[in-house]
């Protein structure tokens, strides 16, 4: 009798939960199989869908790049998974990505995870479609015209110089990633949102903390309960929105006597709203401003940090940058206060190649999200209607055959103009198609100014050597890249 009781207890405590789990897994597999479109003869891509209901989201969030590399090695350039509550196909390789990017509004359309749409807003440029997307993009593009970029240069140069002065006075250790985020945040607030320097200084600490909290929880499980990632992200976003709303109200009060030309991106959105019959609501303006702040600060901070890292590790490239700057009379005793212009920046070809190579090896954004509007075939596999599609930027760069010696930092590979056509869709740090990054030219100008000021004013050494890089949501060094900076003199050798 005792043995019978023990056996029953064993069944209830161990075998029954195991049996229920196996049943749940089987039902999960059946659910995934039924997701296949049987009118299409092509099979689903290879891959696994992870745990019931949770899918592989937790694995991806915790392991990030390691998770993606394992998947690519096992399943190839197209594979299925289950992320952020939806069955998903991940795509890489120039030809596969080309078909996705050029199929916008025909086979696929943009669809970011629920947490991203909830925090950033559903009416932002990255989430709207059709005519609304085209009109909003056209308006924002005015803020990144050649004329507008020319007007931004003095503000950017001033902020970069002030930051580098702090780094040189920072003593034995500067955490570069944290400092570049602070720098790029200030630049984005001034140039894109039109905040005055005094406004930023007053609220900078709180704003940066709130923005960090929002970004940290941007890709989270879509569960809005106290202390969840989404809950914390929304609280941080609401604080940012409150500060932006104050700025918008100030702009609206002075709209008639504000004749700046060109204007910041947020002011252009406000002006466009006032001219159109269908005006933007205050919420739409706040969401658009927050999106601009994310796009104009987080990604450039990631790339600026990678620039510091790669040039510290590849002194031949640093010497070449300085030689180019010396030829353009930007490096030397008489160049200290020489203002930069668009014409001068466009002449810095090798410096531009250094930025391109940095973006190839450490693209700040790992990929983009789409959803299948209808079932279609891609390289022999079916992509069912309603499934999410992620095109991978970092994986596409990694597998591109047009880049010999992929693991080497070789800016010279971008010097040949003949290579431009072969790079199409093999090199996509700014995405592609009708949703190509609207701030691409602004980012290039900002990064060139950063590179010029950094290399003409500083020598530096990485205190921990090459860092481990992670993604969340942009690429960053886990140790924040502790670095020692010292002043650079024209005749002084490069310190290593």
Mind listing the pLDDT tens digit for each residue in 358-377? Answer: 999 999 988 998 999 999 99
Q: For position 142, what pLDDT does the model report?
A: 84
Nearest Cα to Cα of residue 415 among 359, 362, 354, 358: 354
Q: Over range 384-393, report the average pLDDT.
A: 94
Convert the pLDDT of each residue in 10-27 to its tens digit. 555 655 565 555 555 555
Mean pLDDT, residues 247-258 taken together: 76
Q: Mean pLDDT, the chain, as a whole number?
A: 85
Res 491 pLDDT > 50: no
- Each domain of the chain, given as residue ranges in start order, spans 1-34, 35-487
The pLDDT value given to residue 277: 56
Q: Is the pLDDT confidence value at 3 over 70?
A: no
Q: Tell me, rounded to whole angstroms, the distance of Cα 341 from its chain centroid.
A: 27
Question: Is the confidence at residue 29, as pLDDT, over 60?
Answer: no
Residue 223, pLDDT above cutoff 80: yes
Place of tokens 């630049």: 187
Cα separation values, 192 from 18, 144, 238, 309, 464, Å: 55, 10, 19, 27, 34
What would the mean pLDDT of 92-114 be, rounded to a whole number?
Answer: 91
Closest CA to 435 of 23, 134, 184: 134
Per-residue confidence (pLDDT) for residue 376, from 0 to 100: 95
**pLDDT for the residue numbered 20:** 55
Contacts of 394 (CB under 8 A, 6+ apart): 65, 68, 363, 366, 367, 471, 475
Average pLDDT for 408-419:
83
Characterize 396-433 residue by residue with b for buried, 16 or more Cβ atoms within 10 angstroms of its Cβ, and e for exposed: bbbbbeebeeeeebbbebbeeeeeeeebebbbbbbbbb
Neighbours of 275 (CB within 10 A): 8
Asked if residue 171 has pLDDT above 80, the reply is no
Query: What is the predicted pLDDT for the residue at 495?
Result: 44
- Three-state DSSP state, 478: coil
Entry pTM:
0.86
What residue has token string 């023990």? 6
Q: What is the mean pLDDT of residues 157-178?
A: 91
Per-residue pLDDT tens for 211-220? Answer: 889 988 888 8
Instruction: Kindly tell me if the per-residue pLDDT of 383 is higher than 90.
Output: yes
- Does the structure show a pLDDT above 70 at 462? yes
CATH 1.10.630.10 fits 35-487, yes or no: yes
The answer to whether residue 328 scores a pLDDT higher than 60 is yes
- 326 band by pLDDT with thresholds 50, 70 and 90: very high
Give the mean pLDDT of 279-291.
Answer: 85
In 3D, which of 114, 74, 106 has the Cα closest to residue 90?
A: 74
3-class DSSP assignment, residue 389: strand
Q: Is 437 assigned to a binding site?
A: yes
Query: Of 133, 131, 87, 90, nearest to 110 (Cα)?
Result: 133
For residue 138, give both structure tokens.
């056209």
Pick 356 or 198 by higher pLDDT. Answer: 356
Indicate if the pLDDT at residue 260 is higher than 60: no
Range with the largest mean pLDDT of 16-30, 93-107, 135-149, 194-208 = 93-107
């Amino acid at each position: 009798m005792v043995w019978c009781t023990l056996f029953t207890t064993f069944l209830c405590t161990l075998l029954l939960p195991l049996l229920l789990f196996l049943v749940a897994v089987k039902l999960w597999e059946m659910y995934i199989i039924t997701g296949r479109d049987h009118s299409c003869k092509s099979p689903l891509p290879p891959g696994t869908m992870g745990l019931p209901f949770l899918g592989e989201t937790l694995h991806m969030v915790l392991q990030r790049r390691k998770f993606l590399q394992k998947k690519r090695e096992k399943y190839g350039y197209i594979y299925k998974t289950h992320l952020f509550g939806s069955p998903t196909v991940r795509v890489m390789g120039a030809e596969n990505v080309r078909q996705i990017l050029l199929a916008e509004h025909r086979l696929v359309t943009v669809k970011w995870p629920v947490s991203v749409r909830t925090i950033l807003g559903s009416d932002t440029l990255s989430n709207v479609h059709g005519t609304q997307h085209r009109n909003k993009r056209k308006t924002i593009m005015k803020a990144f015209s050649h004329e507008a970029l020319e007007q931004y240069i003095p503000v950017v140069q001033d902020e970069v110089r002030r930051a580098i002065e702090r780094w040189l006075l920072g003593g034995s250790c500067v955490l570069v990633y944290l400092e570049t985020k602070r720098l790029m945040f200030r630049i984005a607030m001034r140039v894109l949102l039109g905040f005055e320097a005094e406004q930023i200084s007053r609220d900078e600490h709180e704003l940066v903390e709130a923005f960090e909290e929002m970004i940290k929880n941007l890709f989270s499980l879509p569960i809005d309960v106290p202390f969840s990632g989404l809950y914390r992200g929304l609280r941080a976003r609401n604080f940012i929105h409150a500060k932006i709303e104050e700025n918008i109200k100030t702009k609206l009060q002075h709209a008639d006597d504000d004749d700046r030309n060109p204007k910041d991106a947020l002011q252009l959105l406000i002006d466009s709203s006032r001219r159109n019959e269908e005006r933007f609501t205050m919420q739409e303006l706040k969401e658009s401003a927050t999106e601009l702040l994310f796009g104009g600060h987080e990604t450039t901070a990631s790339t600026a940090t990678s620039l510091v890292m790669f040039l510290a590790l590849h002194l031949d490239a640093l010497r070449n940058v300085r030689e180019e700057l010396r030829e353009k009379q930007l490096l030397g005793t008489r160049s200290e206060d020489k203002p930069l212009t668009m014409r001068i920046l466009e002449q810095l070809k090798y410096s531009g190649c250094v930025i391109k190579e940095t973006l190839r090896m450490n693209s700040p954004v790992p990929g983009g999200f789409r959803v299948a509007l209808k079932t279609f075939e891609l390289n022999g596999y079916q992509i069912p209607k309603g499934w999410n599609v992620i095109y991978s930027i970092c994986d596409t760069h990694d597998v591109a055959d047009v880049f010999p010696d992929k693991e080497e930092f070789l800016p010279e590979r971008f010097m040949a103009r003949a290579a431009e056509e072969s790079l199409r869709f093999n090199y996509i740090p700014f995405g592609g198609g009708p949703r190509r990054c609207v701030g691409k030219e602004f980012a290039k100008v900002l990064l060139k100014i950063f590179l010029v000021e950094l290399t003409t004013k500083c020598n530096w050494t990485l205190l921990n050597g090459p860092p481990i890089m992670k993604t969340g949501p942009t690429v960053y060094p886990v140790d924040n890249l502790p670095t020692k900076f010292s002043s650079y003199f024209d005749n002084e050798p490069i310190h290593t």
